[in-house]
Amino acid sequence: MKALIQRVKQASVTIDGALYSEIGKGILVFLGVEKNDECVNAEQLAGKVINLRIFEDANEKMNLSLRDVKGEILVVSQFTLCGNCKKGTRPSFDNAALPEKALDLYEYFIKCINEAGFSAKTGKFRAMMDIELINDGPVTFLVEK
């Protein structure tokens, strides 16, 4: 399971020209689910995301978590994170989970976030989405579990 995490000042998802969800200060997570992923991967990744200290403290050090800053979280499924671009010029998605499994683990990841005391906003699984964000920093991390 892969998560591209971006610290944002704000982010939103628009589908078919209509605002679907939005957050203020917090984290935008693009989530990729791979063939061999299981619930334990989602649990570990959710814990890592909400506890990752990527927000600045009073001394301008990355020392605060999403919980510390009372930030929001937006989770968007993105199977292209599972793409392999090592050979040729066309990505291979052989390692991406099939849609049914990916949906189950995407929803389980969101459940883990919510059970930790957050109210995750989301994109729509398998939809074409327009994502707008203001990256704070920029600060971006790729986390794998």
Q: Which residues are catalytic?
A: 80
* Distance from C-alpha of 61 to C-alpha of 110, rounded to nearest angstrom: 28
* Distance from C-alpha of 95 to C-alpha of 85, rounded to nearest angstrom: 12
10 Å Cβ neighbour count for 105?
Answer: 22
Question: Token pair for residue 69?
Answer: 């800053």
> Do 145 and 7 form a contact (C-beta atoms < 8 A)?
no
* Distance from C-alpha of 139 to C-alpha of 136, rounded to nearest angstrom: 6
What are the start-end ranges of the H helices in 60-98? Answer: none
> Do 33 and 96 form a contact (C-beta atoms < 8 A)?
yes
